[in-house]
Amino acid sequence: MMKRSSKDKHLNELIASAQQGDTQIQNDLLEKYQPFIAKCVSEVCKRYIDAKKDDEFSIGLAAFNEAILSYSPEKGSSFLSFSKLVVKRKVIDYIRYVQKTPVAASLDETYDEEQMENPTEIVAVKEIYQKEQESWYRREEILDFKEKLRSYKLSMVELTEISPKHRDARDSAILVAKTLYNDPLLRDYVQQKKKLPIKDLETKVNVSKKTLERNRKFILAIFIVLSEDYLYLKEYLKGVG
C-alpha cells in the first residue's frame, strides 16, 4: 500500500507543530500560502484579490489560520482541500453579511439587530440569509465534488447513470465505501491510486467481487464524499451504517 506523499507528511508535521503552539511555524504557513489563499478568495469573488487592500483577503487569511488550528489528517482529506473549503465558506459568509447590511461593512463592524425595530422583520431577514447561504454552500460543495470526481476520472453525469437503482444495493455500496474510508491503509491506497483495492476490500466486506466491480465507480464517489469536508453531501449518507 502507498503512503501519503512526503510533501503532505511534511505539511502535516508543520501544522501539528502550529497546533501545539509554535507561532513561528504558524506565521510562516500564513505567509507562505498567501497566494493560495488569494486564489481561493478570488474564485469566490470572481475578480482579482489584492492582499493589501481587499477585506475579503483578510477574511480568507483568518479562515486559513482557523483551518490550520482545526485540521485533522485522520479525517482523510488533505489540508489544502480542507482549508480551501474553510476559506471559501468564511468569505461567502462575509459577502452575504455585507450584502445584507445597508452600509458597506468593515472588518471591525458588527451587525446590530436593534437597528431593525420589527422583530418579525429580523426573523424574516435571517431566514432569507440562511437559505441563500446554504444555497451558496451547496453549490461550492458540488463544484468541489466535481473537481474531485475528475481526479478519479469520474463525472456527475456518469454517476447518475451508474448509481445502484435499489436502496438495498445503494446502502450496501455506501457501507463498503465507509469500510474503505475507515481503514487507514486502504484509504491511503485509494487516495494515491484513485482506484479500488478490490482484492483487499473483498476480505473485509460481505460483498462479492462481482458486485464490488459493478459498483466500483459509485463506491469511489461515496469515498470522495467521506474524505472531504462536505456538510451537505454527507447528509445523503446519514442513516446508513
Q: Residue 161 is which amino acid?
A: E
Residue-level pLDDT at 20 = 95
pLDDT confidence bin for 16, thresholds 50/70/90: very high
Contact between 39 and 31 under an 8 Å Cβ cutoff? The reply is: no
Residue-level pLDDT at 105 = 42
Percentage of residues of the chain with pLDDT beyond 70: 80
Percentage of residues of the chain with pLDDT beyond 90: 44
* Spatial separation of the C-alpha atoms in residues 50 and 53, rounded to whole Å: 5
Task: Note the pLDDT tens digit of each residue in 169-182.
Answer: 999 999 999 999 99
Q: What is the mean pLDDT of residues 199-226?
A: 93
Residue-level pLDDT at 60 = 95
CATH of the structural domain 6-111, one choice from 1.25.40, 2.60.40, 1.20.120, 1.10.1740: 1.10.1740
- For residue 113, pLDDT over 50 is answered with no
Structure-block grid coordinates of residue 223: 469515498
pLDDT confidence bin for 123, thresholds 50/70/90: low
pLDDT confidence bin for 149, thresholds 50/70/90: very high
pLDDT confidence bin for 127, thresholds 50/70/90: low
Task: Note the pLDDT tens digit of each residue in 228-239.
Answer: 878 788 887 776
Residue-level pLDDT at 106 = 43
- Boundaries of every domain in the chain: 6-111, 157-237
Q: Which residues contact 96 (CB under 8 A, 6 or more apart)?
A: 129, 132, 133, 136
Average pLDDT, rounded, for the chain: 82
- For residue 133, pLDDT over 90 is answered with no
What pTM, to 2 d.p., does this model score? 0.54
